[in-house]
A and B are shown apart, each in its own frame.
Chain A
Amino acid sequence: MTRFTLAYIEKILPLLWDGMQVTLLLTALSLVGGGTLGTVLAVLRLSRSKPVALFAAAYVNLFRSLPLILLIFWFYFLVPLIVGHPVGGFYSALTGFILFEAAYFCEIIRSGIQSVRRGQILAGLATGLTYRQTMRAIVLPQALRNMLPVLLTESINLFKSTALVYVVGVRDFLTTAGMVGTRDNTFVGMYVLVALVYFVLCLGASLSVGRLQRRYAL
């Protein structure tokens, strides 16, 4: 059995870094995709047209009632059926993350916009600004400041959730560590190390979000 020493960690570090890059890439792509789709959904949910708003609400409620793992498996089977050839775990998991996170981002953005008091919009319109100008110059800057901490916290959650790609064998940080741990019979140390790395990164990030929130709160 290989000893779990500093020298050993140093030896496997490049492998772990490869895994971490996959984790970070998956997080970044899901953030961009989920954020974009979530913004569109939020606009639809606030639309004056009832069917449009209902559609967006149904989307959000459906995706929020499903376990993320189920969605990852869904697309693991579904995406190859649609495109006609296997696409691998990464792209199917990415699809699942984007669609799933969009539902959560939609709700955050919507409540951010709704957190701006109605009087602000009315005042904007009364000063002669158009609806579009009011949104851009008055509502959105305030909404963004209100929702930024929640958006960042959700991003940290997403970062943690990407570890779930383990179930479809994508070689992210956790999967890589698990594979190395099984190969060298060092899985006890490996899993503790993985937990430690996630803990330090997420705690650091959430402490920074807290500091940011105190500084920029309206």
Chain B
Amino acid sequence: MHYNWHWAVIVTEPYLGWILAGLEWTVLVAAAAWVIAFSLGSVIGIARTVKSRGMRIVAGSFVELFRNVPLIVQMFLWYFVLPEVVPRTMGIWLKRDLPHAEFWTAVVCLGIYTACRVAEQVRSGIGAIGRGQSYAGLATGLTPVQVYRHVLLPVAYRIIVPALTTEFLSIFKNSSLALTIGVLELTGTTRKISELSAQPMEMFLTATALYGAVTLGVTALMRVVEARGRVPGLIVAETQ
């Protein structure tokens, strides 16, 4: 294998600026999508544990629907198909007038996809708490909403911190799929520069290091959060 290393390429303009912009888009997509994933995921997860059978079925179907279609296919459905099937004026707005349409499409798509996975974690977190807790809450006169608000959710979220960390990291990695609809995030930028500069190795190693660094950083940070928020006597599995 013969390869001319030329590391200076990654700090030359315009490439350096592009790499940083790519990293910025990756972080923006992941962060914005996480807002949707966490809030919507919590609602769906809670809906899967309530007494009403109808609500459980609706929430369950939602999860199955988004879990069983590849993410890249969902990306295409949101980006190419949705504007064609909604009313005409709205379709035109989506295609032509919405600023940063690719960005928002990627955010919504990733957000909803991950929401379904977060929902499963929230559900299992609530399920991990003994039923006695919610009976006790109801017996002391709390309403069902208050039981969730003051008894179940505070403990459930603390139990699922490690699982949520994994989901956040997966949204961060999956944000690379935004390149398929034209968002120049880190992976897309890496490919573009590799083709333009003829120095693919340096670019790919840089991107690998950046992804690795963010993952390591988030993992380390969440380990602290997890240790602080640990529910005494309730942690079942010690993570390695």
Pair A191/B177 contact, Cβ less than 8 Å: no
Which of A5-13, A34-42, A137-145, A163-171 is the interface stretch? A163-171
Pair B68/A191 contact, Cβ less than 8 Å: no
Which of B6-14, B49-57, B100-108, B206-214 is the interface stretch? B206-214
Neighbouring B residues of A203 by C-beta, 8 Å: 64, 68
CB distance from B56 to the nearest CB of A (A): 16
- In this complex, the member of B169, B180, B187 whose beta carbon has the largest number of chain A beta carbons within 10 angstroms is B187
Would you list which residues of chain B between 152 and 211 have a CB under 8 Å from chain A?
169, 173-177, 179-180, 187, 190-191, 194, 200-201, 204, 207-208, 211
CB distance from A177 to the nearest CB of B (A): 9
The CA-CA distance from A70 to B77 in the complex, in Å, is 22
Neighbouring B residues of A174 by C-beta, 8 Å: 70, 72-73
CB distance from A69 to the nearest CB of B (A): 5
CB distance from A213 to the nearest CB of B (A): 15
CB distance from B107 to the nearest CB of A (A): 16
Grouping DSSP codes into helix (H, G, I), strand (E, B) and loop, the B interface class, with mixed when no group exceeds half, is helix
CB distance from A158 to the nearest CB of B (A): 11
The CA-CA distance from A165 to B187 in the complex, in Å, is 15
CB distance from A202 to the nearest CB of B (A): 4
Would you list which residues of chain A between 194 and 215 have a CB under 8 Å from chain B?
194-195, 198-199, 202-203, 206
Query: What is the chain B residue whose CB lies nearest that of A114?
Result: B240
Q: Does A2 contact B (CB under 8 A)?
A: no
Neighbouring A residues of B201 by C-beta, 8 Å: 77-78, 81
Q: Does B76 contact A (CB under 8 A)?
A: yes
Pair A70/B204 contact, Cβ less than 8 Å: yes
CB distance from A32 to the nearest CB of B (A): 21
The CA-CA distance from A195 to B76 in the complex, in Å, is 10
For B187, give its contact among A69, A81, A187 (CB under 8 Å): A69
Query: What is the chain A residue whose CB lies nearest that of B215?
Result: A65
- In this complex, the member of A67, A199, A203, A206 whose beta carbon has the largest number of chain B beta carbons within 10 angstroms is A67
1/0 contact trace for B195-239 toward A, CB 8 Å?
000001100100110011001100000000000000000000000
Pair B169/A65 contact, Cβ less than 8 Å: yes
Neighbouring A residues of B1 by C-beta, 8 Å: 81-82, 84
The CA-CA distance from A144 to B68 in the complex, in Å, is 25
- In this complex, the member of A73, A161, A166 whose beta carbon has the largest number of chain B beta carbons within 10 angstroms is A73
The CA-CA distance from A68 to B174 in the complex, in Å, is 8
Query: What is the chain B residue whose CB lies nearest that of A198?
Result: B69
Q: Does A188 contact B (CB under 8 A)?
A: yes
For A163, give its contact among B73, B80, B81, B176 (CB under 8 Å): B73
The CA-CA distance from A164 to B71 in the complex, in Å, is 9
Give the bracket for the number of chain A residues in contact with chain B: 20 to 34
Grouping DSSP codes into helix (H, G, I), strand (E, B) and loop, the A interface class, with mixed when no group exceeds half, is helix
Pair A77/B194 contact, Cβ less than 8 Å: yes
Q: Does A131 contact B (CB under 8 A)?
A: no
Q: Does B65 contact A (CB under 8 A)?
A: yes
CB distance from B57 to the nearest CB of A (A): 15
Q: Does B84 contact A (CB under 8 A)?
A: yes
Pair B84/A188 contact, Cβ less than 8 Å: yes
Q: Does B3 contact A (CB under 8 A)?
A: yes
Q: Does B74 contact A (CB under 8 A)?
A: yes
For A70, give its contact among B65, B70, B187 (CB under 8 Å): B187
Pair A195/B77 contact, Cβ less than 8 Å: yes
Would you list which residues of chain A between 60 and 97 have a CB under 8 Å from chain B?
62, 65-70, 73-74, 77-78, 81-82, 84
Neighbouring B residues of A195 by C-beta, 8 Å: 69, 73-74, 77
Query: What is the chain A residue whose CB lies nearest that of B68?
Result: A202
Seen from chain B, the residues whose Cβ lies within 8 Å of a Cβ on chain A are 1, 3, 64-65, 67-74, 76-77, 80-81, 84-85, 169, 173-177, 179-180, 187, 190-191, 194, 200-201, 204, 207-208, 211-212, 215-216
Seen from chain A, the residues whose Cβ lies within 8 Å of a Cβ on chain B are 62, 65-70, 73-74, 77-78, 81-82, 84, 160-161, 163-164, 166-167, 174, 178, 187-188, 191-192, 194-195, 198-199, 202-203, 206
Complex A-B, nearest 3 residue pairs according to Cβ-Cβ distance, in ascending order: A65-B215, A202-B68, A67-B176
New contact pairs (8) apart from A70-B207, A77-B200, A206-B67, CB-CB < 8 Å:
A67-B174, A69-B177, A78-B201, A160-B69, A164-B72, A188-B84, A191-B77, A202-B68
